[in-house]
Chains A and B, each alone.
Chain A
Amino acid sequence: MSFSISLTINGEKRAIALDDPRVTLLDLLRERLHLTGAKKGCDRGQCGACTVLVDGRRINSCLTLAASLDGADITTVEGLANGDDLHPVQAAFIAHDGLQCGYCTPGQIMSAVGLIAEGHAGDDPERVRELMSGNICRCGAYKGITEAVLDAQKTLKDGKRRDAA
Chain B
Amino acid sequence: MNRFEYVRPASVQEAVTAASQPGSVYLAAGTNLLDLMKLGAARPERVIDITRLPGLGEIDWRPDGSVRIGAMVRNSDLAYDERFARTFPVVAEALLSGASAQLRNAATVGGNLMQQTRCAYFQDVASACNRRAPGSGCDAREGENRLHAVLGWSESCIATHPSDFCVPLVALDAVTEVAGPNGMRDVAIDALHALPGETPERETALQPGELITALKLPSDAAAFADHARYLKVRERTSFAFAVVSAAAALRIDGGKIQSARLALGGVAAKPWRARDAEAVLENAPPTQEAFAKAAELALSEARPSGKNAFKIELARRLIVRALSLSTEGTPEAMPALPASPFATVPSANHAR
Residues of A within 8 A of B (CB): 1, 3, 20-22, 24, 43-45, 48, 51, 57-60, 63-65, 67-68, 111, 114-115, 118, 120, 124, 126-127, 129-135
A9 vs chain B, min Cβ distance (A): 18
Q: Are B35 and A63 in contact (CB under 8 A)?
A: yes
Q: In the complex, A24→B1 CA distance in Å?
A: 11
Number of interface residues of B (CB under 8 A): 33
Interface presence of B349 (CB below 8 A): yes
Knowing A65-B27, A126-B336, A134-B100, say if A57 contacts B49 (CB, 8 Å). Answer: no
Q: How far is the CA of A126 from the CA of B30 in the complex (A)?
A: 29
Among A59, A120, A124, contact of B102 (Cβ-Cβ < 8 Å) = A59
B184 beta carbon closer than 8 Å to chain A:
no
Question: What secondary structure prevails in chain B residues at the interface with A?
Answer: loop
Give the distance in Å from the alpha carbon of A66 to the alpha carbon of B100 in the complex. 21
Closest to B1 in A: A22
Asked if B106 and A59 make an inter-chain contact with CB atoms under 8 angstroms apart, the answer reads: yes
Extra contacts, 4 of them, besides A58-B102, A65-B34 (Cβ < 8 A), are A45-B103, A60-B31, A114-B101, A134-B99
Evaluate whether A44 and B35 lie within 8 angstroms (CB atoms) in the complex, with A68-B49, A130-B336 already known.
yes
Compute how far the CA of A32 lies from the CA of B31 in the bound complex, rounded to whole angstroms: 22
A-B contact count (CB 8 A): 99
- Knowing A63-B35, A64-B29, A130-B337, the reply to whether A1 touches B101 (Cβ < 8 A) is no
Q: Is the CB of A67 within 8 A of B6?
A: yes
Interface residues of B (CB under 8 A from A): 1, 3-6, 8, 27, 29-31, 34-35, 38, 47, 49, 51, 76, 80, 99-103, 105-106, 237-239, 336-338, 349, 351
**28 A-B residue pairs with CB within 8 Å:** A45-B31, A45-B103, A51-B102, A58-B105, A59-B106, A60-B31, A60-B102, A63-B34, A63-B106, A64-B30, A65-B6, A65-B30, A65-B47, A67-B49, A68-B49, A111-B102, A114-B101, A114-B102, A114-B105, A115-B101, A118-B101, A126-B336, A131-B101, A133-B101, A134-B101, A134-B102, A134-B103, A135-B100
A139 to chain B, nearest CB (A): 18
Q: Which of A22, A60, A129 contacts B106 (CB 8 A)?
A: A60
Which residues of B lie under 8 Å from residue A43 when comparing CB positions?
A: 38
Whether A126 and B337, one on each chain, are in contact in the complex, defined by CB atoms closer than 8 angstroms, is yes
A83 to chain B, nearest CB (A): 28
Q: How far is the CB of B235 from chain A (nearest CB, A)?
A: 13
Residues in A with CB closer than 8 Å to B238 are 129-130, 133
Q: Which residues of A contact B51 (CB under 8 A)?
A: 68
User: What is the CB-to-nearest-CB distance from B40 to chain A, in angstroms, rounded to a whole number?
Assistant: 13
